[in-house]
Amino acid sequence: MSSVFANIIFVGSDHAGFALKSDLIKQFPDLPWRDLGTNSDESVDYPDYADRVVNAMKEHGIDTSVGVLLCGSGQGMAIRANRYSFIRAALCWNEEIARLSRAHNDANVLCLPSRFIEPSAACVILAEFLNTPFEGGGRHERRVKKL
């Protein structure tokens, strides 16, 4: 599997997302992952890891990278990531939300709620997110520009 819109995937998690992050990397070993931590289930502050991922995306190039952030609810990571003007982070808990966040919102960061989804569901969500192009044009592009 590869991404239709990115050639590098920056991934980060807090302690609650560590196990699921590790599982995703293991399930998709051929993806161009860049793991920015955390590296254990010892308590850390999720905003620090969201910052690492979005800053790495900016440095590498927003048009050629994607972020994946994991924490207990996914919401904290999404809130922090969306403070950056060049980020459109989407909290996704199923395949349809992942598809729509890409197709309609041109999301460039996937946030996953590690305490509320199974690893198998996370794999499906990730695949859908990476393989769905932005529909662009017309109403979707107009709306994304307003963000």
Contacts of 77 (CB under 8 A, 6+ apart): 14, 17, 46, 49, 50, 69, 70, 71, 89, 111
Closest CA to 143 of 112, 109, 101: 101
More confident residue, 109 or 142: 109
Q: What is the pLDDT of residue 25?
A: 98
Per-residue pLDDT tens over the stretch 119-138: 999 999 999 999 999 887 77
How far is the CA of 82 from the CAs of 17, 25, 26, 44, 118, in angstroms? Answer: 19, 24, 27, 20, 25
Q: What is the pLDDT of residue 3?
A: 77
DSSP 62: G
Q: What is the pLDDT of residue 32?
A: 96
Q: Is the pLDDT of residue 44 over 80?
A: yes
User: pTM for the complete prediction?
Assistant: 0.95
**Range 31-37 average pLDDT:** 97
Catalytic residues: 104
Task: Give the domains, in start order, of the chain with CATH numbers.
Answer: 8-146 (3.40.1400.10)
User: What is the percent of the chain where pLDDT is above 70?
Assistant: 95
Per-residue pLDDT tens over the stretch 69-124: 999 999 999 999 999 999 999 999 999 999 999 999 999 999 999 999 999 999 99
Tokens of 102: 């890409």
* Side-chain-facing half-sphere of 124: CA atoms under 13 Å: 10
